[in-house]
Each structure stands twice: as structure tokens, then as C-alpha cells.
């Protein structure tokens, strides 16, 4: 059984996996239409797999924002695999591409790397970072809603005290998600707000405290110093915390998101990415670039506007979303 067949079967096993596949299929329509369309066109024009075929494939992958060094790795892997399997027909390459995309994502790691590090029976702290305008507050609200639906007692701390309206915005999301928001007045010391948040979360016997942080100060150094200070307060109050540092990135910004990821991961140990607006871009390949070049897993993907549209990331479902039309064409 080929990889495509395994992928197809994986998402037909039960209602839950079928729902996941449908969510990714709908949410990745723009990327798929662009990506699959170009690959199908390429395969229609090249009956045999040669150097020209790989050169054009390289361009297709780069245009999907897979990232130049990731594309080079992928093309090298594909060439070796095509040679190893003695593949002559370009149609057979689709199978190898989908297989290698999943392999590039997971590398040597197991498939549990997308799971949130939530501690059983004690307070788990999630620090959320990212520049203004990427959907940070929205993602916090949706994550709080998701965790509450899973039976967790969740508290939010409004640590973005510099941006006008940020505290009120988090308040609104807190109400929607049905969780408490710990806050002070605009302009307060963020570290003091987070300190209050930890005390309140402990007194409420909360399972999870999600901390919002500033997305912009006068300059990058100020912002990174502020984040480092917040992190020190958390580490002092709860040994071993923060249990997750989630960086929120906007998928529609492509390579700009990569440079943000580099900056933030230098300042604080980013443990996972929340990739918003994946449904709004034709450049969803950024997922692979982030994972391969920065070694940071994407933990959540934004695939729509609704509260429940923040989904745990799944590399198999992502590749399914890229190739869904093709998989359905080959269905019996």
C-alpha cells in the first residue's frame, strides 16, 4: 500500500479523523488550489522525471513559501528516492512528495510533538508571545475556549499593558470563552500583572494560566527585555514554568513570519507556534519552513473565524489538506 493510500485510509477510519481531514481540506483550500494545481500542471507537462522537472518543482515549492533551504533538502531527498525506487513516470512522484513532506515535518521526532505540555494536578503556565496584529489575543481566547471545553479550569492574565485596547480585547475574549481575566490598568508593569495572575490562578485552583504579553515596545531590545523579565517572574513563582512558550505568527505574512520566529526564539525559548490565518493564504508551505529551519513545531493552526477553528496541528492532516483533491480523484 502506497503512502497516499495510507493517508487516505487514515482519514476514513472514524468520525474524528474524518472531521479533522474535512477541517484541513476546507481550511487549506487556497494553498491547495495553488500548490496542487501547479504540481498537476507540472506532471501533465513532464511525462518523465528529469532535471528540468525538478527545477520547476523547486520553483513551485518556493512559491508556496516552503523556504529555500527546506526546498533544497526536499529536492535532494526526492532525487534520491526517485533513483532508489527507479521511478520514471512523473505521476508516481506525487506519492513521494507527500511522503517526504510528512517526513521533513517530523524529522527524528515522534508524532506527539504537537501536544501541549499540560501538567496533571498542578498549575500549567502558557506564555503567549508575538508582534501586534498577528491574532495573538484572538488565539488566546480560542485556546482558552478549547481547554475549557476539555474540562480545564482556565485563567487569563492581561500582560499586554502597552497596546491601547489590548486589555479590553482580552476581556471580551475571556467572556466569550467563559474564563476569568486578571488585569490591571493600561500602562502597568506586565511582570506585576503576570505575578497577580499566578497568585489568582493558584487561589482558584486553576489548571492552566495563559499569559498575554506585549507585542511591541519602542524597539526590539525593550520588547525582548520585557519578555525576559516576565519569564523570570514565572520561573520564580512556579518552578519548571512556563510549560509552553507559544509564538503566534500570521501565515499570510510568509517569510516575514520566519524572521519574527527567529527574533522571538532568540529572546525566549519558544516551544511551539500558533499559526493563524492558514485558511487565508496560498502560502501554507510556511509550516514546513518553520519546522525544518527553526526546529519549532506548529502546535495550533487557525483554520477559520469561529471559536472552535483553532485546531491542534497535525502534519498528516496538513499534507492531506494539500493533496485532498488528488486523493479523492484516486479513491475507489
Digit-coded pLDDT (tens) for 106-156: 877 666 778 899 998 999 999 999 999 999 999 999 999 999 999 999 999
Three-state DSSP state, 291: helix
Mean pLDDT, residues 228-246 = 95
pLDDT-derived band at 217 (thresholds 50, 70, 90) equals low
CA angle, corner 59, sides to 98 and 111, nearest 5? 30
Residue 191 pLDDT > 90, yes or no? yes
Average of per-residue pLDDT across 184-191: 94
pLDDT-above-90 percentage for the chain: 50
The model's confidence at residue 12, banded by pLDDT at 50, 70 and 90, is low
- φ, ψ for residue 274 (rounded to 5)? -105, 115
Distances (CA, A) of 69 to 61, 72, 105, 256, 257: 11, 5, 14, 16, 16
pLDDT digits (tens, 9 = 90+) for 18-40: 787 788 888 889 888 888 888 88
Provide the 10 A C-beta neighbour count for residue 268. 18
Q: What is the pLDDT of residue 264?
A: 87
Asked if the bond preceding 273 is cis, omega within 30° of 0, the reply is: no
Q: Cα–Cα distance between 31 and 323 in angstroms, integer? A: 10
| pLDDT score at 203 | 97
The pLDDT score that the predictor gives to residue 56 is 93
The answer to whether the CB of 254 falls within 8 A of the CB of 281 is yes
Answer yes or no: are the C-beta atoms of 134 and 249 closer than 8 Å.
yes
Over residues 159-181, mean pLDDT: 95
pLDDT at 331 over 70: no
| Alpha helices, H only, the chain | 3-10, 15-27, 29-45, 51-63, 68-84, 93-106, 136-149, 166-177, 190-203, 220-237, 255-267, 286-294, 315-329
Per DSSP, 161 falls in state -
Read off the pLDDT of each residue in 68-90 and give the average, rounded to a whole number: 91
Residue 11 is predicted with a pLDDT of: 64
Mean pLDDT of 253-262: 86
**pTM (2 decimals)?**
0.90
Q: Looking at the predicted structure, is the pLDDT value of residue 247 above 50?
A: yes
pLDDT-derived band at 193 (thresholds 50, 70, 90) equals very high
pLDDT at 2 over 80: no
**83 against 220, higher pLDDT:** 83
Q: Residue 332: its pLDDT value, please?
A: 41
pLDDT at 177 over 50: yes
Q: For the chain, what percent of residues have pLDDT higher than 70?
A: 92
How does the average pLDDT of the chain come out, rounded? 88
Dist CA 37 CA 321 (whole Å): 13
Amino acid at each position: 500500500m502506497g503512502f497516499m493510500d495510507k493517508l487516505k485510509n487514515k482519514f476514513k477510519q472514524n468520525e474524528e479523523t474524518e472531521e479533522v481531514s474535512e477541517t484541513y481540506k476546507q481550511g487549506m483550500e487556497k494553498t491547495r488550489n495553488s500548490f496542487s494545481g501547479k504540481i498537476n500542471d507540472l506532471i501533465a507537462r513532464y511525462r518523465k522525471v528529469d532535471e528540468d522537472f525538478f527545477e520547476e518543482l523547486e520553483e513551485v515549492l518556493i512559491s508556496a513559501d516552503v523556504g529555500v533551504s527546506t526546498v533544497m533538502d526536499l529536492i535532494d531527498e526526492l532525487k534520491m528516492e526517485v533513483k532508489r525506487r527507479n521511478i520514471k513516470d512523473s505521476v508516481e512522484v506525487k506519492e513521494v512528495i507527500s511522503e517526504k513532506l510528512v517526513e521533513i515535518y517530523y524529522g527524528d521526532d515522534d508524532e506527539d510533538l504537537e501536544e501541549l505540555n499540560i501538567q496533571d494536578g498542578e498549575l500549567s503556565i502558557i506564555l503567549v508571545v508575538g508582534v501586534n496584529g498577528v491574532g495573538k489575543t484572538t488565539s488566546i481566547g480560542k485556546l482558552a475556549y478549547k481547554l475549557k471545553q476539555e474540562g480545564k479550569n482556565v485563567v487569563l492574565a492581561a500582560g499586554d499593558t502597552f497596546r491601547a485596547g489590548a486589555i479590553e480585547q482580552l476581556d471580551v475574549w475571556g467572556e466569550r470563552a467563559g474564563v476569568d481575566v486578571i488585569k490591571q490598568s493600561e500602562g502597568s508593569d506586565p511582570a506585576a500583572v503576570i505575578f497577580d495572575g499566578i497568585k489568582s490562578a493558584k487561589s482558584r485552583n486553576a489548571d492552566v494560566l495563559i499569559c498575554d504579553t506585549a507585542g511591541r515596545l519602542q524597539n526590539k531590545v525593550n520588547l525582548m527585555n520585557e519578555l525576559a523579565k516576565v519569564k523570570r517572574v514565572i520561573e520564580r513563582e512556579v518552578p519548571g514554568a512556563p510549560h509552553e512558550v507559544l509564538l503566534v505568527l500570521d501565515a499570510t505574512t510568509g517569510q516575514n513570519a520566519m524572521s519574527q520566529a527567529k527574533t522571538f526564539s532568540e529572546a525566549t525559548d519558544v516551544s511551539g507556534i500558533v499559526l493563524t490565518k492558514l485558511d487565508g493564504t496560498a502560502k501554507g508551505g510556511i509550516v514546513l519552513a518553520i519546522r525544518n529551519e527553526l526546529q519549532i513545531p506548529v502546535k495550533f493552526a487557525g483554520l477559520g473565524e469561529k471559536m472552535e477553528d483553532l485546531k491542534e496541528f497535525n502534519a498528516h492532516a496538513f499534507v492531506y489538506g494539500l493533496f485532498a483533491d488528488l486523493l479523492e480523484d484516486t479513491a475507489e
